[in-house]
Amino acid sequence: MTTKRTIRYKSVETKYMEERAQALSGLLNLDRRSFVKASLAAMGAAAAASLDTPFSFQPIRMAHADIGEGFRIAYISDSHLYERDLNDRFVNALLRAVDDVNALDPQPDFVLYGGDLAQLGQAKELDLGAQILKELKAPVRMMVGEHDWYLDMGEKWRALFGEPNYSFDHKGVHFVVLNSVVEADFWTARKMSPMERMKTVAGLDNGWQSSFTVGDAQREWLKTDLEAIPTKTPLVVFSHSPLYKLYKPWNFWTDDAEQVQAILKRFQRVTVVHGHTHQLLTNRIGNIHFHGMLSTAWPWPYAPEGLPELTVQMARPDPFNPQDGCGDGQIIVHPDGLADKLYNLWNRNPVTVKKTYLASKGKTDRPEGSPRSSY
Amino acid sequence: MMRTRTFAAHTASFLTLGLVLALGCDSDTPTPSGTPTAKPTAAKDTAPKDTPAEPTPPAASPTTASPTPTPAAATPAGVEVLLCDGETKTTVPAGTPGTAIAGALMSEWLAKHPEREWTTQVFERHGLKPAADNHALIGQGQGQTYGRVSEQDVLVWKTEVETLALAGARVFHNGDELGSTVGVSCDMCHPHAANTHPETYPKFQPQLGRVALLRDMINWCLEHPVRAQPLSADDPRMRALEAYMYAQRSGVTLAYGKH
């Protein structure tokens, strides 16, 4: 045990980059089938010998070992793409997330894209995003964000990806995708051009815009959609904004959240996964478990008030560490219909918020917090 | 020419017109349109680089005794009146009262300069913590050559400092004013200047290997995530950015060196 000590310390970055390089060179040298075989064999051997699995890929591999008959969904969210000529950083970040998800073995059942693919809703930004997401090996389910919508009121987005609200069933779980970024008209009275409207919505702290809602029409649609679903069926809802009220000035907020929650109330197991907040965020209201998603573009600070009690804050991002506080992740749905939420923070240890943490209302399995709280 | 004379004959109305025109041309006076009282006005040394151009005062002031404020020409439709900026024109029927002419001219000018209300607009959009209230000082002597503190003094202090902070908010939220080459502005990571923690500077910044002031961190952000040129310490944009960040942390205890 002492023999290794001299070379034991390596920084997180070094380990990550080494393993990444190793994995990529492996891919170059092997065809896919042999690579899968080789990596499975290596994992098996490592598990049998109870050796440490590789540092940064460990949680991913450990996670699916416990799934049993459950399944996994990967997520990528809030990429805020500009055209590549203007800003290649956000583009590269989305490519990194696509690489991450494509490297998952076995592959997730599908990938949720959590909204805000574009920064200013422009056709070229959305086209670029769509093109990059086509590289994903697993099927993709799209959700819309306000940055995708308010230039042309969703015309381009719908042309690429279809209607923003829909539902589907997968392995006994009912999934609902909502457009929760419906804003009341603030632009006509101010005689705004489409781009002025878009830029107003694109500013998180721009008080000229309205609050997010799901809206009457979609709530009616949701009621109808859920009518025939038995109470015992596990429900997973995807919304861009959190379906509760956290902090209104930043639209970390859905104005008709209570009405939506009332529709979901009769179900015994409900998980809501949302984008928009770019941070680790955990909440529980009644039977509804809420989880945030990470952004690939930049992290948001925590709101100055209204933070749910169950939220364990992620580490304060280091501005000197590019892409710190950003990432992607997974939703691990267990056979009982409850879900673990994995935050794959780039440049940091990944964090898993387990279903038992929320089920016990924070009494067990508390995720590891950061010693430095936000300012 | 008859019409011009008719217009000039409205002496009383003309005096009003002259006053309103003078107001419209004075950059340090709030605009006459009904705006909130808290709205500060532009201070020249703090205004960001593309602050809308103030109207240039004409060589001959409209308040001088010339018979018309500016060349006014009679047309078949009415009287053409020119504002003291030398550009803004409007045409009114002969015999229109001077106040109405002034109102029409101001509307024309405001329509051409929507950004004139920039402080109000920035405040409505992004908010600002109010500057400290100094009303308790009104009426007190200062123990020196200055007289007692007046309500006007207190208003000026507040207006001026809030204007600088609002100029900062404006730069903070605008990638073009920051000079970003990648479309990134400060608010994209720091809504309402959250997480800029100016109260913790100066502090030793291990990543830089030296003690950093707030402006050093602003410049670091400008050069890296924003991909812009750094600003000199006395650049009006730097002064405004610092003012905004400090304003937004009003009430927080200073804790220099805090990590």
What does the pLDDT look like over A6-62, one tens digit per residue?
Answer: 556 677 777 777 777 777 665 555 555 555 555 555 555 555 544 444 444 433 333
Three-state DSSP string of B59-110: CCCCCCCCCCCCCCEEECCEEEEECCCCCCEEEECCCCCHHHHHHHHHHHHH
The answer to whether the Cβ–Cβ distance between A87 and B187 falls below 8 Å is: no
Chain B contact residues (CB < 8 Å to A): 124-127, 173, 182-184, 187-192, 194-195, 197, 200, 207, 217, 220-221, 224-225, 259
DSSP secondary structure string for all residues of B104-131: HHHHHHHHH-GGGGHHHHHHHHH--PPP
SS3 B257: coil
Decide the pairing of beta strands A339-345 and A327-333.
antiparallel
Per-residue pLDDT, averaged over A153-176, amounts to: 96
Q: Answer yes or no: is pLDDT of A246 > 60.
A: yes
Q: How far is B242 from chain A (nearest CA, A)?
A: 17
Sign of torsion over alpha carbons A206, A207, A209, A213: positive
Spatial CA neighbour of A276 closest among A375, A373, A148: A148
CA B33, CA B27: separation in Å to the nearest integer? 14
Point out the least confidently predicted range of A37-51, A165-179, A252-266, B161-175. A37-51
Nearest-CB residue to B125 (from A208, A304, A320):
A208
Per-residue pLDDT, averaged over A318-331, amounts to: 94
What pLDDT is recorded for position A226? 97
Per-residue pLDDT, averaged over A229-240, amounts to: 96
∠ CA(B106), CA(B107), CA(B112), 5° rounding?
95
Residue A208 near chain B (CB below 8 Å): yes
Decide the pairing of beta strands A288-291 and A270-274.
parallel
Cis peptide before B57 (omega within 30 of 0): no
What pLDDT is recorded for position A167? 97
Per residue in B200-221, pLDDT (tens digit) is 999 999 999 999 999 999 999 9
Contact B78, B5 (CB under 8 A): no
The answer to whether the Cβ–Cβ distance between A89 and B182 falls below 8 Å is: yes
Contact B155, B163 (CB under 8 A): no
What the block records as the tokens of A117 is 């693919």
Per residue in A80-106, pLDDT (tens digit) is 999 999 999 999 999 999 999 999 999
What pLDDT is recorded for position A67? 39
What pLDDT is recorded for position A55? 45
Cis peptide before B48 (omega within 30 of 0): no
Spatial CA neighbour of A331 closest among A312, A358, A301, A299: A358
pLDDT tier for residue B4 given thresholds of 50, 70 and 90: very low
Top CATH class, B129-248: mainly alpha
Query: How much is the mean pLDDT over chain A?
Result: 88
Q: Which residue has the tokens 């045409």?
A: B91
Contact A247, A305 (CB under 8 A): yes
For chain A, the first-to-last Cα distance in angstroms comes to 41
Q: Which residue has the tokens 């769509």?
A: A130
What the block records as the tokens of A7 is 């070379």
What pLDDT is recorded for position B74? 56
Point out the least confidently predicted range of A59-73, B31-45, B222-236. B31-45
The answer to whether the Cβ–Cβ distance between A86 and B173 falls below 8 Å is: no
Pick the residue with more confidence: A307 or B10?
A307
What the block records as the tokens of B72 is 């006014």
Could you tell me if residue B75 is left (phi over 0), alpha (psi between -120 and 50 degrees) or otherwise beta?
Answer: beta
Spatial CA neighbour of B241 closest among B144, B162, B166, B185: B166
What pLDDT is recorded for position A69? 78
pLDDT above 90 covers what percent of chain A? 78
What pLDDT is recorded for position A16? 79
Nearest-CB residue to A301 (from B124, B195, B225):
B195
Per residue in A94-151, pLDDT (tens digit) is 999 999 999 999 999 999 999 999 999 999 999 999 999 999 999 999 999 999 999 9
Spatial CA neighbour of B221 closest among A374, A81, A320, A92: A320
Contact A56, A342 (CB under 8 A): no
SS3 B153: helix
Tell me what ipTM this predicted complex has: 0.81
Per residue in B24-38, pLDDT (tens digit) is 444 443 443 433 444
DSSP classification of residue A7: G
What pLDDT is recorded for position B82? 84
The answer to whether the Cβ–Cβ distance between A374 and B195 falls below 8 Å is: yes
The answer to whether the Cβ–Cβ distance between B187 and A203 falls below 8 Å is: yes
CA A270, CA A287: separation in Å to the nearest integer? 6
Contact A298, A321 (CB under 8 A): no
* CB within 8 Å of A106: residues ≥ 6 apart: A64
Q: Residue B207: closest CA among chain A residues belongs to which residue?
A: A320
For the sheet with A166-170, list strands across it: A166-170, A173-177, A235-239, A270-274, A288-291, A282-285
Burial of A358 per CB tally in 10 Å (0-12, 13-18, 19+):
buried
Q: Which amino acid is at A156?
A: K
Q: Answer yes or no: is pLDDT of B43 > 80.
A: no
What the block records as the tokens of A122 is 């422009």
Pick the residue with more confidence: A64 or A310?
A310
CB pairs < 8 Å spanning A and B: 66
